[in-house]
Chains A and B, each alone.
Chain A
Amino acid sequence: MSLGTTTPHRVLLFAEDDPLRLAGGRTLAPVEVAYETYGSLDDVADNAVFIIHALTGDAHAAGVHPDDGRIGWWDNLIGPGRPVDTDRFFVVCANLLGGCQGTTGPSSTDPATGRPYGLDFPALQMTDFVTVHRRLMRHLGVRRLLAAVGGSLGGMQVLQWATESPEEVTNAVVVAASSRLSAQNIAFSAVAREAIMRDRDFAGGRYLEGDRAPDIGLTIARMMAHITYLSDEAFTTKFDRRLQERDTPAMGFGVDFQVESYLRHQGESFLDRFDALSYLYLSRVMDYFDPFADPAAVPRLAEAATRFLVVSFDSDWRFSTAHSRRIVRTLEQGRVPVSFREIRSPWGHDSFLLEPPGYHPTVRAFLDRAYDERGSS
């Protein structure tokens, strides 16, 4: 069943007299966070599940958005009777720090200047996202998560949260993620950022004060990233070499193949919901992420006995199974309880948002057990 209409919330978590202290040394205030919750927190506050979104997601993870009727991005996973069962769990999802869908980010107003931060917004690290998530949980009266669940960049935050404060994360679900990006991963993000920053309308990050935005750069960044989210097989199944609204090729440089039209649409519709500066800041966080570089991280996890479920998809080449296996090997060799499955799916990295056979039943089995054992550790 799907949740009905959800309620967006916004809360001021860090005020000027209590600023957010970032890992890079700078402080930030005010910090506002957009979030949604589903289900209800039980008396002893031990049924909280934090859902963490990926690079371009938002706080609207499930149900129907009251403003535009949009269905949440992980609605197939979250809801009454679904694997993240809102009849049992208190589910929270928040827009990331640095984002552009309600939470403070580079397009927010800098109180020192009265202008948008632009590139004066401080550089972020994975731990900064977690610091803000943690403060939100405290605001909601939760000291310890029954589970943290995330895919892609969301899975990386789950890993960060668990490795830095394992006593706060009883169970961790890490889907289609990585503990350290490869050179190829970084290369793709680098091209996306170059496309944005070399767009003349980027204006050194000051475009929010003018009439034009680096739309071409952001569109190209999204088009290219989108290619990496799908497998070759998925593109063939969806489009093959079919032509767009014609029987013979135009032999020009316009949009002739269906796949070209699709990518253009993906790029352009992205402009309505995403900001180029957030794209820069959030994608950069992934490049530097390397939680196991801290030699104390895994022993801490083993001590707290945080339980992990790691899931990868066999056709994902953005964060291939090799990335997940590295996480699994590191945890397993460090004596951290970890379960792992590679799910067969033709859809590439995007599979984590879909329902290839075996995927949701695995998450359900893990969370059902977590629910049964809540409060026991």
Chain B
Amino acid sequence: MRPDLGVVAGLVPPGSRVLDLGCGAGELLSHLERGHGCTGTGVEIDEGSVLRAVRRGVPVIELDVDTMLGEFADASYDVVILSRTLQALRRPAEVLAQIGRIGERCVVSVPNFGLWKHRVSLLVRGRMPVSRELPYPWFETPNIHLSTLADLEELFAATGLRVEKRLLLDEQGALLGGRLGGRLGNLRAGAAAYLLTH
């Protein structure tokens, strides 16, 4: 499993009922079911990923996260996970509102556009950043709504989601050591995972 998924899994209380939006081939849900006593549902739209999730035994529903979250009932999950998905959505604000409606808690992980290397790329080279976290050239990236951690936290607040816990990850997806405050974290983290309540 990708190291950042391990970090996300660590934010999910054992035994939770989990909805994983953009679940890919179901690695995280499968891990949560086997290792943490969780149950749940994945949502995915990429055909190859859906097939792999079905083969793995993860319940997966094919639908468009941007437009069809109305299929899920209010407060029907303990945790809704949006792992490296928010930045690829067309309507991130609406989706955040939806996951707050569906889940008791939400776990959101995102790449951090505010990482110092990305800033340097723009500032010094005048080019859109391409990195391990954001590996695509600008014209074919699925990541259409990039944000820095500061931007994102503002949107959380505006959507009524409260940050209960924030974990910063390095560019390899491992936890960043040391105590990093808001501004320093926004500079040093390649990605972050948030546990949110409302």
* Contact surface of A with B, Cβ cutoff 8 Å: 307, 309, 325, 328-329, 332-333, 335, 337-342, 358, 361-362, 365-366, 368-369, 373
Q: How far is the CB of A224 from chain B (nearest CB, A)?
A: 32
B163 within 8 A of A: no
The number of residue pairs between A and B whose CB atoms lie closer than 8 Å in the complex comes to 54
Q: How far is the CA of A236 from the CA of B76 in the complex (A)?
A: 44
Q: How far is the CB of A192 from chain B (nearest CB, A)?
A: 33
Which chain B residues lie closer than 8 Å to A329 at the CB level? 71
B73 within 8 A of A: yes
Determine if A369 and B55 form an interchain contact, defined as CB atoms under 8 angstroms apart.
Answer: yes
Q: How far is the CA of A178 from the CA of B61 in the complex (A)?
A: 17
A-contact bits for B49-81, CB 8 A (1 contact / 0 none): 011111111011111000000011100100000
Closest B residue by C-beta to A328:
B61
Determine if B39 and A340 form an interchain contact, defined as CB atoms under 8 angstroms apart.
Answer: no
Which chain A residues lie closer than 8 Å to B61 at the CB level? 328, 332, 338-340
Determine if B54 and A339 form an interchain contact, defined as CB atoms under 8 angstroms apart.
Answer: yes
With A328-B71, A340-B61 given, name 18 new contacts (CB 8 A): A307-B59, A325-B71, A333-B73, A333-B76, A337-B41, A339-B54, A340-B60, A340-B62, A342-B62, A361-B51, A362-B50, A362-B54, A365-B52, A365-B54, A365-B55, A366-B54, A368-B55, A369-B57
Q: How far is the CA of A365 from the CA of B62 in the complex (A)?
A: 15
8 A Cβ contacts from B144-183 to A: none
Which chain A residues lie closer than 8 Å to B73 at the CB level? 333
Closest B residue by C-beta to A357:
B47
Q: How far is the CB of B15 from chain A (nearest CB, A)?
A: 13
Closest A residue by C-beta to B76:
A333
Q: How far is the CA of A338 from the CA of B41 in the complex (A)?
A: 8
Q: How far is the CB of B115 from chain A (nearest CB, A)?
A: 37
Which chain A residues lie closer than 8 Å to B57 at the CB level? 307, 369, 373
B118 within 8 A of A: no
B17 within 8 A of A: yes
Determine if A335 and B55 form an interchain contact, defined as CB atoms under 8 angstroms apart.
Answer: no
Determine if A369 and B41 form an interchain contact, defined as CB atoms under 8 angstroms apart.
Answer: no
